[in-house]
Structure 1
Amino acid sequence: MEHKKVTFKNRYGLTLAADLYTPKNASGKLAAIAVSGPYGAVKEQASGLYAQTMAEKGFVTLAFDPSYTGESSGEPRHVSSPDINTEDFSAAVDFLGLQDNVDRACIGVIGICGWGGMALNAAAVDTRIKAVATATMYDMSRVMSKGYNDSTTDEDRINGLQFLNEQRWKDAEAGEPAVGPVSLELQGGEPQFVVEYAGYYKSTDRGFHPRAINSNASWTLTNPLSFMNMPLLSYIDKISPRPALLIHGENAHSRYFSETAFEKLQEPKELVIVEDANHVDLYDNFDKIPLDKLVDFFATNLK
């Protein structure tokens, strides 16, 4: 494959940085796939690995840093938005559709982890996305507003909102948003899935990258606010008749996000549960990532 660094703007005027991968010696107009995620990661991590691998299989691919993160623009840094980050996928479709070697009628998206929910949301509103796949998908609005396994009570939600809005006063007084402690610095006693996250993002041999929030920084303290009020997956039943493929690990703590989304999706849809895989296995472990399924899905539906 061939690689080059590119930039493009989204509808809000933010400049997104991306890596564009093209199969070597390809001719004519090709199908294309935009890739992003996981939540708090950068394009040099899992999304870049997916993009490179799918380019080797014959697709033009684009792995991008979401707005406000990585090498993409946006101030303040390290914030996210269910609206703007959904738009980021559509902006990636804009860019791909302008390439001379891309068939703009054959563009799909892959969202990993928290960007799986963004990818589904983008497909629900952007009819140019002809097929959408997710890997180890998180619904960020659900987990931020309801907690894991929907464990947040009404009282918890009110207390959380009160904390976040008091923090807004502090940020306004300071003239900049406060950020939390550096992500995934283990102290002992964390849930197993947090240990697995740290094993990926903190390991220089596996997934560490200095620009990744999960490796080397943290989100702003008030980052959850917009997600708590804007459910991401409200309209995913409208993706049909365009196809959706959801892939999740059998042992992933987050598996219920894909299972719930799958129930709401209309045909054509497919849910693949990968045996003996946890959440982060599907970031970079191609012994477990069902590559043949991904390639067949896009080859069948982007033509």
Structure 2
Amino acid sequence: MDKHAETSNMTVKKDITNKSRRNMMKIGGAGIVALGVNSLTATTAFAQSSILLNDEWDKKFAKSDKVDHKKVTFKNRYGITLAADLYQPKNADGTLPAIVVGGPFGAVKEQSSGLYAQTMAERGFISLAFDPSYTGESGGEPRNIASPDINTEDFSAAIDCIGMQKNVDRERIGMIGICGWGGMALNAAASDKRVKAVVASTMYDMTRVMSKGYNDSVTSEQRAQTLEQLSQQRWQDAEKGMPAYQAPYNVLKGGEPQFMVDYHDYYMTPRGYHPRAVNSGNAWSQTTPLSFMNMPILSYIDEIAPHPTLFIHGEKAHSLYMAKTAYENAAKPKELMIIPGASHVDLYDQVDIIPFDKLTTFFKQHLS
């Protein structure tokens, strides 16, 4: 692979077999759960084989005739090969500002991140939407694993990749993180000083919600019970030589919180369903929460400054409290934009609600 990130051949096939129902305490984003206090029986997933990366358009949004698109691959600092979509304005001259986009948590680049990236390319930015390590078309074994460290590194590796494009101005690179990758983007921007401006859209702090539950409702006793079960699950995984997987959340039974209904209506309907997305009827490993439980990712959010931060969130989003806390802890320059009447999932794909004009103004100002 040369420095301009040539396309390569990979395949991701994942066969997830659900062998039993389990009692679970839901404390994360769609599809993420912390285990309950009872003994559980595992589901399993098989490793990926290879898929051909080509230019077949399998996105959940229409292809723009104002943008050139191609797939690229690049490696992160841990040697994992990531797959991404590169969007460039047609017939653009000279060097341009650039934006990398990731998220939501459990999604793939064919969903929200690709929509954001293509739209920003229409508005003059070279944009890159990527699949995080262990998910989608990106590499990493076993499949469907998340890590606050590795996934933060994925953002910086995306900066490596886009900064090596001949027509990108390395001094004008920004970042957008959506949902759980909003928190990852903030964490990356705090340490990676190549990022000159960052947007967190409908963000989650995954380390907070996995360790403390929604609205910080998990008690110390519940946390200890969860850690005990996760620790015991490691023995089972080690004995089998492969991780057990959570039961896919793919059927509504009635009585779910509205935000879970919203997730289902996005990930499990033609609106947003994609077979490679973890949240589209697949599952994270049972032990995925372990690395999030003791690692708060926003401890140094104030160090993003002097580069600006923009938080965008829906007024009716169940996750709004996380954005408000992050905004309070960030240093100036910062801004919190609350979209009236919008839910968490509205900012995934509702182009009449996502404030793309604001995003354009923000990045043109700060990537000038």
TM range (shorter): over 0.9
Match of 2:126 in 1: 60
How far off is 1:293 after superposition? 0.6
Residue type matched to 2:297 in 1?
A: L
Is contact 1:184–1:194 with CA below 8 Å preserved after alignment? no
Which residue, out of 216, 221, 228, partners 2:281? Answer: 216
What do the CA deviations read for 1:165-209 (whole angstroms, capped 9, x no partner)? 1111111111100001112322221111000000000111x1000
Match of 2:116 in 1: 50
Unaligned runs of 5+ in 2: 1-66
| Matching of residue 229 in structure 1 with residue 294 in structure 2 | yes
How far off is 1:52 after superposition? 0.5
TM-score by length of 1: 0.99
Q: What's the secondary structure of 1:226's corresponding residue?
A: helix
Q: Where do residues 194-213 of structure 1 align in structure 2 (5 Å cutoff)?
A: 194-204=260-270, 206-213=271-278
Match of 1:266 in 2: 331
Unaligned runs of 5+ in 1: none
Is contact 1:184–1:197 with CA below 8 Å preserved after alignment? no
Q: What's the secondary structure of 1:68's corresponding residue?
A: coil
Cα distance between partner residues in 2 of 1:242 and 1:26: 26
Residue type matched to 1:224 in 2?
A: P
Which residue, out of 3, 12, 15, partners 2:81? Answer: 15
Q: Where do residues 274-293 of structure 1 align in structure 2 (5 Å cutoff)?
A: 274-293=339-358
Match of 2:191 in 1: 125
Match of 1:171 in 2: 237
Residue type matched to 2:324 in 1?
A: E
| Matching of residue 246 in structure 1 with residue 311 in structure 2 | yes
Residue type matched to 2:192 in 1?
A: D
| % identical aligned pairs | 67
Match of 1:33 in 2: 99
Match of 1:91 in 2: 157
What do the CA deviations read for 1:206-263 (whole angstroms, capped 9, x no partner)? 1000000000300000000000011010000010110000000000000001000000
Cα distance between partner residues in 2 of 1:172 and 1:267: 46
Over 3 Å counting, the alpha-carbon distance change for 1:23 and 1:284 in structure 2 is same
How far off is 1:39 after superposition? 0.1
Q: Give the superposed CA RMSD.
A: 0.6
Match of 1:104 in 2: 170
Residue type matched to 2:95 in 1?
A: K
Residue type matched to 1:57 in 2?
A: R
Cα distance between partner residues in 1 of 2:145 and 2:250: 17
Q: Where do residues 133-148 of structure 1 align in structure 2 (5 Å cutoff)?
A: 133-148=199-214
Which residue, out of 70, 78, 85, partners 1:4? Answer: 70
Cα distance between partner residues in 1 of 2:355 and 2:128: 20
What do the CA deviations read for 1:49-95 (whole angstroms, capped 9, x no partner)? 00010000000000000000000000010000000000000000001
Cα distance between partner residues in 2 of 1:132 and 1:181: 34
Q: Which has the larger radius of gyration?
A: 2
Q: What's the secondary structure of 2:135's corresponding residue?
A: coil
Is contact 1:183–1:213 with CA below 8 Å preserved after alignment? no
What do the CA deviations read for 1:90-111 (whole angstroms, capped 9, x no partner)? 0000011111000001001100
Residue type matched to 1:66 in 2?
A: P
Is contact 1:18–1:63 with CA below 8 Å preserved after alignment? yes
Match of 1:255 in 2: 320
How far off is 1:286 after superposition? 1.3
Cα distance between partner residues in 1 of 2:133 and 2:209: 21
Cα distance between partner residues in 2 of 1:48 and 1:97: 18
Cα distance between partner residues in 2 of 1:231 and 1:184: 29
Q: What's the secondary structure of 2:245's corresponding residue?
A: coil
Cα distance between partner residues in 1 of 2:175 and 2:81: 19
Residue type matched to 1:92 in 2?
A: A
Match of 2:141 in 1: 75
How far off is 1:2 after superposition? 0.1
Give the ranges of 4+ consecutive aligned residues of structure 1 lying more than 4 Å apart after TM superposition.
none
Residue type matched to 2:184 in 1?
A: M
Cα distance between partner residues in 2 of 1:69 and 1:181: 17
